[in-house]
């Protein structure tokens, strides 16, 4: 179930909140756990076994957590067992198919007649997120940075709570411990939470989904048939789409958390205003970056073991970041390019960019969309085609068949959404909102955003007269 769906907003959420509200205080965690399982089941009803997988994950990590905290002598073995358990499932569902395909490719290249079977089962929803949170829990226990959770219900609730189950944020146990045990609910929090949820909904439905249409159309035309201006517009559209999609969803998650009394960490801090890639990744998907820093970069030594080790540690983090986002070569390439940029920035480029913000913004104006190109397009040869469209001087394209002025046509269709995206990616609107938050005007604006988003969601569903226009 997606947050931006009629089922969630008008069926699940009101019913759940009602039940949760009348629940006695001691039962609230159980209620949230149960509700989250219902939520998850709805999403995996075609593969109900995935629900069992989630429950097993909760159970195994809960037990191991208690053991690690209490059986000091076996801590290392227990941690290893836990990490193997958690990452085994992630590897199986996410990466085994990719690995098998590549082995087969090598085998075929070597002339061997056999090939191993390739399974690419559908990914259990949220597995990337709950695996990372479970792993963080065990590692923190091992390091003595937190105490174990004594209640299976509370731990299960922590791992599966629906605001962060499907798409994060990755909230580590030790930061949520207090609120898991006791938290306050109030109308003030409900107000705050509903507001954030609505803002997130608007960003996703009214901006992300709209500009996403342009990127989709560029794909439908085919990369070899677009003009250079349209190629750039398409890439900017994708950059805005992925940002507002992720940011909107994170805000919705945070808003839901606030209603329930949780303070979930934020994931985005106007990343497109950054001056360097290094800064960008401290402002984009913040909880993922923190996780990699805390559980990969620092254990490897961070930047404290000399230049070469730092380089190696950075490479590890960025390759893993790439691969976390998807199991195919373009994501590995993407991670590699990010690594190279960040390495250059650490070796002097960063100082220049920070010193002269205009240069920094110009650099990011190219670095952001171009790195997203590697992220957005899976086929490496298609990436090459697109680069040629972006930079026509890069090579001859005698087969290019595009119509002059295509960017004008799409500019008219999507100009408004693109402009909205560019405005809302700055810090301006949020600042404006903060100033007017107490006034009923902001409430009225949010109400319009809410109902307009609901309208757009409805139109996007199988409404035959307006769903699709050929």
Partner 1 sequence: MRRYWYTGLLLFSLAAVSLWRGGVQVYGQLSAPAAKQAEEEREEQAVWQEQDRPGEDPAENGGNAQLPDTAGEETLSEEERFQPLFPENFQNVLLIGDSRTMGLYEYGDTGEGDVFAGRGMNVFDLWESKVSAEGKGTVTLEQLLAENQYQAVLLMLGVNELGYPMEQIVSQYHDTVERIRQMQPQARIILGANMHVTAEKSAASDIYNNEKINELNGYICQIGQEMGCDYIDINEKFDDSQGNLDAEYSTDGFHILGKYYGDWVQWLTEQTAAGS
Q: Which of 167, 82, 94, 136 is nearest to 291 (CA)?
A: 136
Q: Which is nearer to partner 1, 393 or 470 (CB)?
A: 470
Closest distance to partner 1 from the beta carbon of 162 (Å)? 20
Residue 59 CA to residue 53 CA, distance in Å, equals 10
Q: What is the DSSP string of 189-223?
A: HHHHHHHHHHHHHHIIIIIIHHHHHHHHHHHHH-G
3-state secondary structure of 468: coil
Q: Is 23 exposed, middle or buried (0-12, 13-18, 19+ CB in 10 A)?
A: middle
Q: Which is nearer to partner 1, 110 or 401 (CB)?
A: 401
> Which stretches of the chain bind partner 1, using CB under 8 A?
187-188, 190-191, 194-195, 198, 216, 219-222, 224-226, 399, 401-403, 406, 438, 440, 442-444, 446-447, 450-451, 462, 464-465, 468-470
- In whole angstroms, the minimum distance from the beta carbon of 245 to partner 1 comes to 19
* Cα dihedral 1, 264, 68, 153 in deg (nearest 10): -50
Taking the complex as a whole, the smallest distance from the CB of residue 447 to partner 1 amounts, in Å, to 5
Cβ nearer to partner 1, comparing 94 with 204? 204
CA distance 119 to 142: 34
Phi, psi at 72, each rounded to 5°: -60, -35
Nearest CA to 253 out of 24, 44, 34, 39 is that of: 39
CA distances to 213, 377, 432 from 454, rounded to whole Å, are 18, 30, 24
The Cβ-side half-sphere exposure at 265, using a 13 Å CA radius, reads: 19
Name the 3-class secondary structure at 316: helix
Q: How far is the CB of 417 from partner 1 (least distance, A)?
A: 16
Q: Cβ 450 to partner 1, closest distance in Å? A: 7
The yes-or-no answer on residue 270 being catalytic is no
Burial of 207 (0-12, 13-18, 19+ CB in 10 A): buried
**Token pair recorded at residue 335:** 């991670």
How much helix, strand and coil, in percent to the nearest 5, is found in the chain?
A: 75, 0, 25
In the complex with partner 1, the residue whose CB is nearer, 73 or 469, is 469
Residue 419 or 447: the one with the smaller Cβ distance to partner 1 is 447
Closest distance of CB 230 from partner 1, Å: 11
Among 47, 263, 270, 325, which one carries the catalytic annotation? 325
Q: Which is nearer to partner 1, 49 or 466 (CB)?
A: 466
- Residues forming the active site: 325
């Amino acid at each position: 179930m997606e947050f931006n769906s009629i089922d969630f907003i008008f069926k699940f959420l009101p019913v759940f909140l009602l039940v949760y509200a009348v629940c006695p205080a001691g039962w609230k965690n159980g209620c949230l756990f149960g509700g989250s399982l219902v939520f998850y089941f709805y999403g995996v009803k075609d593969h109900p076994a995935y629900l069992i997988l989630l429950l097993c994950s909760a159970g195994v990590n809960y037990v191991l957590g208690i053991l690690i905290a209490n059986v000091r002598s076996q801590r290392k073995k227990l941690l290893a067992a836990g990490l193997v358990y958690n990452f085994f499932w992630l590897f199986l569902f996410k990466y085994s198919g990719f690995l098998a395909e590549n082995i087969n490719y090598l085998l075929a290249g070597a002339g061997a007649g056999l090939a191993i079977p390739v399974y690419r089962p559908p990914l259990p929803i949220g597995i990337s997120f709950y695996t990372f949170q479970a792993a963080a829990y065990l590692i923190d226990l091992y390091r003595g940075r937190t105490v174990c959770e004594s209640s299976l219900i509370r731990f299960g609730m922590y791992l599966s709570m629906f605001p962060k189950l499907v798409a994060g944020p990755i909230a580590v146990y030790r930061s949520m411990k207090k609120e898991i045990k006791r938290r306050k609910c109030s109308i003030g929090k409900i107000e705050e939470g509903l507001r954030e949820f609505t803002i997130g909904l608007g960003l996703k439905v009214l901006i992300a989904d709209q500009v996403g249409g342009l990127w989709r159309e560029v794909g439908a035309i085919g990369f070899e048939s677009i003009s250079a201006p349209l190629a750039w517009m398409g890439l900017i559209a994708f950059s805005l789409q992925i940002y507002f999609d992720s940011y909107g969803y994170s805000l919705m998650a945070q808003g839901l958390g606030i209603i329930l009394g949780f303070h979930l960490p934020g994931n985005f801090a106007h990343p497109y205003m950054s001056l360097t890639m290094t800064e960008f990744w401290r402002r984009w998907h913040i909880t993922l970056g923190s996780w990699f820093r805390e559980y990969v970069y620092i254990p490897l030594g961070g930047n404290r073991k000399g230049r070469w080790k730092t380089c190696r540690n950075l490479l590890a983090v960025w390759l893993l970041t790439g691969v976390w986002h998807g199991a195919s070569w373009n994501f590995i390439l993407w991670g590699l390019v990010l690594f190279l940029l960040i390495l250059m920035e650490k070796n002097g480029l960063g100082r220049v960019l920070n010193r002269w913000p205009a240069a920094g913004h110009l650099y990011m104006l190219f670095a952001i969309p171009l790195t997203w190109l590697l992220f957005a397009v899976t086929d490496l040869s298609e990436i090459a085609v697109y680069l040629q469209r972006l930079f026509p001087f890069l090579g001859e394209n005698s087969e290019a068949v595009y119509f002059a002025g295509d960017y004008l046509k799409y500019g008219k269709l999507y100009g408004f959404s693109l402009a909205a995206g560019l405005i809302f990616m700055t810090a301006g609107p949020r600042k404006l909102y903060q100033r007017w938050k107490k006034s009923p005007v902001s409430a009225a604006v949010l109400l319009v955003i809410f109902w307009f988003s609901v309208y757009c969601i409805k139109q996007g569903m199988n409404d035959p007269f307006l769903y699709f226009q050929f």
